[in-house]
Amino acid sequence: MPDVPETAESRLTVTRLFEQQRGYGSPNRWIGGEYERSVVRSDGRSVGYFEPDGIRWILGELQSRLGWAPYVEHSPTGDHLIALEAGRAGGGASITLEPGGQVELSGRPHASLAGLDAEVRENRRVLHELSAGKDHHWLAIGLTPYAPIDSIAFVPKGRYAIMREYLPKVGPLAHWMMKGTTSVQGNFDYADEEDCARKFKVALALGPLNTAMFANSPIAEGRATGWRSYRSHIWTQTDPARTGFPAAVREGYTHARWIDYLLDTPMMFLKLDGAWIAANGQTFRAWMSEGYVDGSGARHFPTMADWELHQTSVFPEVRVKRTIEVRGADLVSVDLCVAFGALWYGLLYGALSETERWVNENIAEDPRVAQESAGRYGLGGQMGARRTADLAGDVVQIALAGLRFLGEDTDLLTPLIDQVASGESPADRLIRAWEADPSPPAFLRACAY
């Protein structure tokens, strides 16, 4: 990045950040899905980046089969393929790597659930096709079940080299989050600041129920953890400044409060002239006012691209950028991944007023307390005075009505309706499979993607 001249016209200001955020609103009802998948060997070891048929090889095969553009990161250790980008013709979809080699599909925006459904199923087909004959096991689970976290190597990505040093200083399970966890996430449009505030409020309030319905990470390092979603617990032990339920917006979202939250969250890294640099906890607000002085004495101030990069380094249960990102679910089967999208599509687009009414009447507990119950007990727990499964039953019925109103395929929600009606989270089935036979061959079959 070239030096930014120290003039009032070129400097970022809070007003400029606010105006950009206000300009993000869209009248559309698009949905985009994000799916992090881990791949392991027959004995549960994580597949490494540099192995002959490892993560780099998988990206190369995906590039060949999909025709997407490679993104290569240049670093002192060499040039490394770390992502694929579909480009505008592909709707902006991408495939990226999480720190432990988890392969993430960030799908294109879809105007209906049918497109979302087709995209993730086709991507799974390609993954299975390229892995045929290989010692690859793709998992539908929120945490890699066997590999010791310390045994999983970091992928060669510049920002991860800084994060792996910074995060353990503020969170004892940070490396578990980085290298072991996987999730399904959804992105949803908002029309303007008021619409964003309404959707953010209900998504944050329903965060613990989201965790409970999709809880699917009961096993870690070859042992039962006692949690339905150990992944949710890991996130509470990662970095309280950038995770969970931000106090700045817990009582009510505004763009100004959200921007203040981002401005005052300690930075992990910044990027100058293509090089990743440790920010050592400097806030973005301080960078805007004081600049960053490099080794030659030159002072650098952030650009809007730096602001957009910084927004990717906070990980609350609900995140606002150009869209609203709902983040709290473990990775589950493809059927349930699509049902996750259908749930939130119905709640946020088809039945927002009814969802707001229900939240106001039924959700009073501090979400941090409810999140503890959701992670430990899943749908088998209790939130406030009611059983978690009963609360979830109400919510899926509201989503179902929302999908009907929109004319969407309600069958896509059926796997979640059935899951909630059982009173169990996906993790309960995995716990029974583990108790019946904890050997890798049997358990990897039970959680196959």
Domain 14-443 has CATH 3.30.590.20: yes
Q: Please report the pLDDT score of residue 11 as a whole number.
A: 85
Q: Please report the pLDDT score of residue 8 as a whole number.
A: 45
Q: Please report the pLDDT score of residue 335 as a whole number.
A: 98
From residue 96, give the alpha-carbon distance in Å to each of 100, 139, 308. Answer: 12, 17, 17
Through-space distance between the first and last CA atoms of the chain, rounded to whole angstroms: 41
Q: Who's near 2: CB < 8 A, 6+ residues apart?
A: 273
Q: Please report the pLDDT score of residue 330 as a whole number.
A: 98
**Do residues 144 and 40 make contact, with C-beta atoms less than 8 angstroms apart?**
yes
Q: Please report the pLDDT score of residue 3 as a whole number.
A: 41
- List the chain domain ranges: 14-443
Instruction: Report the amino acid identity of residue 146.
Output: Y
Q: Which element (helix H / strand E) includes 439?
A: none
pLDDT < 50 regions, the chain: 1-9
Q: Please report the pLDDT score of residue 6 as a whole number.
A: 46
Provide DSSP, 358-384: HHHHH--S-HHHHHHHHHHHGGGSEET
CA distance 317 to 294: 34
Q: Please report the pLDDT score of residue 77 as a whole number.
A: 81
